[in-house]
Amino acid sequence: PKGFEAAVSGEVSPSAIFGINLKKGVIDAAYGGSSLDLKTLVLESEPFNLNASGGLGGNLGSGIKYDLDIKNLNVLSKFAPEYSFGGRLGLSGLIRGGFDKPRITVKATGSDMTYDEKRSRIKKLELTAEGNLDAGNLDLTASGEAKGIEIEGREIQVVNLKAASRGAVVDCQADIQETVKRKYTLDLKLGDLGSEEPKLEISKAVINLENAVFQNKSPIMIALSKDKVSVSSFNLYHKENSIVGEFSVGFDHSIAGSLKLEKLRLPDVSEMLNVEFPVKGRMSGEITVGSSMEHPDIKANIYARDLAYKKFKSDELTLALLYSGDKLGLNLHIKDNKQDVLTAVADATV
Cα–Cα dist 28/173, whole Å: 42
Cα–Cα dist 159/176, whole Å: 5
> Does residue 225 surpass a pLDDT of 70?
yes
Mean pLDDT of 172-196: 90
The number of beta carbons lying within 10 Å of the beta carbon of residue 255 is 17
The structure's pTM equals 0.78
Q: Which of 113-117, 165-169, 316-320 has the lowest mean pLDDT?
A: 165-169
Count CA atoms closer than 13 A to 80's CA, side-chain side: 8
Count CA atoms closer than 13 A to 59's CA, side-chain side: 1
Nearest to 153 by CA among 126, 177, 117: 117
Structure confidence at residue 100 (pLDDT): 79
> Does residue 191 surpass a pLDDT of 80?
yes
> Does residue 185 surpass a pLDDT of 90?
yes
pLDDT, tens only, 156-180: 999 999 999 887 789 999 999 999 9
pLDDT, tens only, 28-37: 999 887 788 9
What lies within 8 Å, CB to CB, of 320 at 6+ separation is 300, 301, 302, 329, 330, 331
Going by pLDDT thresholds of 50, 70 and 90, the confidence category of residue 332 is very high
> Does residue 1 surpass a pLDDT of 60?
no
Own/partner pairs for 262-266, CB < 8 Å, 24+ apart? 265/212, 265/241, 266/304, 266/307
More confident residue, 230 or 152: 230
Cα–Cα dist 41/9, whole Å: 10
> Does residue 2 surpass a pLDDT of 70?
no
SS in 3 state form for the chain?
CCCCCEEEEEEECCEEECCEEEEEEEEEEEECCCEEEEEEEEEEECCEEEEEEEEEECCCCCEEEEEEEECCHHHHHHCCCCCCEEEEEEEEEEEEECCCCEEEEEEEEEEEEEECCCCEEEEEEEEEEEEECCCCCCCCEEEEEEEEEEECCEEEEEEEEEEEEECCEEEEEEEEEEECCEEEEEEEEEECCCCCCCEEEEEEEEEECCCCEEECCCCEEEEECCCEEEEEEEEEEECCEEEEEEEEEECCCEEEEEEEEEEEEHHHHHHHHCCCCCCEEEEEEEEEEEEECCCEEEEEEEEEEEEEECCEEEEEEEEEEEEECCEEEEEEEEEECCEEEEEEEEEEEC
CB 256 within 8 A of CB 228: no
Mean pLDDT of 38-67: 90
pLDDT, tens only, 75-87: 988 888 888 899 9
Query: What is the chain's mean pLDDT, rounded?
Result: 89
> Does residue 199 surpass a pLDDT of 80?
yes
Mean pLDDT of 287-295: 91
Dihedral angle computed from the Cα positions of residues 132, 135, 140 and 146, in that order, rounded to the nearest 10 degrees: 110
> Does residue 195 surpass a pLDDT of 80?
no
Going by pLDDT thresholds of 50, 70 and 90, the confidence category of residue 3 is low
Residue 41 β-bridge partners: 27, 52
More confident residue, 282 or 312: 282
CB 146 within 8 A of CB 113: no
- pLDDT above 70 covers a percentage of the chain that reads 96
pLDDT, tens only, 242-258: 999 999 999 888 999 99
> Does residue 45 surpass a pLDDT of 90?
yes
Structure confidence at residue 61 (pLDDT): 66
Nearest to 327 by CA among 285, 302, 291: 291
Structure confidence at residue 273 (pLDDT): 65
> Does residue 10 surpass a pLDDT of 90?
yes
Cα–Cα dist 347/323, whole Å: 10
Please work out, in degrees rounded to the nearest 5, the angle formed at the alpha carbon of residue 285 by the alpha carbons of 279 and 288: 110
Mean pLDDT of 215-220: 96
Structure confidence at residue 274 (pLDDT): 64
Cα–Cα dist 318/157, whole Å: 39
Mean pLDDT of 13-27: 89
Q: How far apart are the first and last CA of the chain?
A: 66
